[in-house]
Structure 1
Amino acid sequence: MNAPMIYELRKPKRIIPNKKYPALFLIHGKGSNEQNIFDVVEGLEKEFFIFSIRGHIPQPPGYSFFTFKVYGQPDRDGFDEGVERITSFIDYAVKEYPVDRSHLYLLGFSQGAVMSMTLALTLGHKIRGIVALSGYIPQFVLEEYDIKPVDGQSVFISHGEKDPVLPYQWGVAAQEYFNEMKASVSFHSYQEGHTVSAKNQEDLTNWLMNDLKGKG
């Protein structure tokens, strides 16, 4: 079966036969690529099958999962296609690799966080948890998409209070929405801009490992 998207895989060095592993799907930011986001999850390949997905839209110097009509409003055609492609890729990965369907996580930065939160809402309990770093939920997703129940879904949202690209309040609004939907939300703010600090990386790593062990 051919993969529906270009990706890079990292996994434990020693694979135990017949064992199912948790999976972590990485979704990069605007103009980046599937290799640039691995630093954020360094070391987690000891526990997870980590799939880093390349955006389907060329956007030098890299790729994107959607473009914008105006600030904060993704172009709907590219966005919808991105959601469909990533959904298909998750289905592909589950079929082709020894991953545990009950332990699927998404992690994204910037527009990758936008896609992660959107997919959490469209896939519902198919997704165990998400890590959304400096993102937001587009209004048309809330108004027009088929939103699935996410009660109990594990959600880590972080945002820099000095973010000059995507306002801090957008991250606050996202965590408020997931709280209203009865997800299990962990919200973290940092005195940073549009970036992932060392403390942010430490916090998300600890959160992922605790969630994995605590709900196993």
Structure 2
Amino acid sequence: MKHIFKKGTSTDAPVLLLLHGTGGNEEDLVPLGSLISPQSSILSVRGSVLENGMPRFFKRLAEGVFDEEDLKFRTKELHAFLDAAADKYEFDRQNVVAVGYSNGANIAGSLLFHYEGSLRGAALHHPMVPLRGIQLPVLQGVNVFIGAGKNDPICPPQETEELEHLLKEAGAEVETHWENFGHQLTQPEAERASAWFQKYFL
């Protein structure tokens, strides 16, 4: 998978797995990662699926309608990539926190939904429920931040509330931050994610 790795100043701070939104690339969330945890190493990945020339992490059938089989396949692919990257770059595989926006937040959520121990935590900016009707792994000890918009046309509030409920039911600690700027990732939301990260991981 196309990616960049930037070594941080602290080996104790979690490695940040950065996952962009539709049409983004591996450079997009580097400033956000640096704001959330300046001392962390950064592993930023580009989605390997193209939709009308725009990189994504998995296919969709329509807006808000995921190709579930491709989602499962790409989630497995990303999970294996993380294992290989930990060996290559010599970081602690058990100390990875995902930071994802939109499509990237959805595949980060899918990692949580499918693989126990895949992530120590996740900052999910404007995510949807990745998959319904499956048994989630035990998420005890996993901390999740959800950044959401009360007027988000892509992820309506009930979608956010359902995701929050499913994660909590599986044992995760979830903090949800609401804004009124639609699907946009705002500076206050980023700063709130940074405060959440400092509270739980440093």
Aligned partners of 1:178 and 1:64: how far apart in 2?
Answer: 24
Is the contact made by 1:21 and 1:100 (CA closer than 8 Å) also made in structure 2?
Answer: no
Report % sequence identity: 24
- Structure 1 residue 153 corresponds to structure 2 residue 142: yes
Task: Tell me which of 113, 120, 124 is aligned to 1:121.
Answer: 113
What secondary structure sits across from 1:163 in the alignment? coil
Q: Which region of structure 1 is more displaced relative to structure 2, 97-106 or 47-56?
A: 97-106
Q: Is the 8 A contact 1:57 1:66 kept in 2?
A: yes
The separation in 1 between residues aligned to 2:55 and 2:142, in whole angstroms, is 29
Q: CA deviation at 1:29?
A: 1.0
Q: Which residue of 2 aligns with 1:169?
A: 158
CA distance in 1, matches of 2:121, 2:33: 15
2:179 aligned residue (150, 168, 190): 190
Distance 2:128 2:64 in 1: 9
Distance 1:64 1:90 in 2: 17
Structure 2: state its 5+ residue gaps.
none
Between 51-60 and 35-44, report the one with greater CA deviation. 35-44
Which whole-Å deviations, capped at 9, do the CAs of 1:123-142 have from their partners, x for residues lacking one? 2233210111101113xx33
The one-character-per-residue Cα deviations of 1:160-190 (angstroms, maximum 9, x if unpaired) are: 1111222222112111111122211111111
Q: Secondary structure at the match of 2:23?
A: coil
Distance in 2 between the 1:161 and 1:45 partners? 26
For 1:102, what is the secondary structure of its paired residue? coil
**What is the match of residue 8 of structure 1?**
4
Among residues 183, 195, 202, which one is paired with 1:206 in the alignment?
195
- Which residue does the alignment assign to 1:81? 73
Judged with a 3 Å threshold, the aligned counterparts in structure 2 of structure 1 residues 203 and 44 are, in CA distance, closer, same or farther, namely closer
Matched pairs, number: 202
Give me the whole-angstrom Cα distance separating, in 2, the residues matched to 1:80 and 1:7.
20
Which aligned pairs between 1:133-148 and structure 2 lie closer than 5 A? 133-138=125-130, 141-144=131-134, 147-148=136-137
What amino acid sits opposite 2:190 in the alignment?
Q
Deviation at 1:31, TM superposition (A): 1.7
Higher Cα Rg: structure 1 or 2?
1
Matches within 5 A, 1:60-71: 60=52, 62-71=54-63
**Conserved? CA contact 1:27–1:106, under 8 Å:** yes
Secondary structure, aligned partner of 1:42: helix
Who is 2:91 aligned against?
A: 99
> Which blocks of at least 5 consecutive residues in structure 1 are unaligned?
none
Q: 2:27 aligns to what SS in structure 1?
A: coil
Shift of the 190–76 alpha-carbon distance from structure 1 to 2, 3 Å rule, reads same
SS in 2 for 1:105: strand
CA distance in structure 1 between the aligned counterparts of 2:149 and 2:18, rounded to whole angstroms: 20
Letter of the aligned partner of 1:96 in structure 2? K
Instruction: Measure the CA separation in 2 of the matches of 1:93 and 1:122.
Output: 19
User: 1:76 Cα shift?
Assistant: 2.7
Q: Residue type matched to 1:208 in 2?
A: F
Match of 2:29 in 1: 37
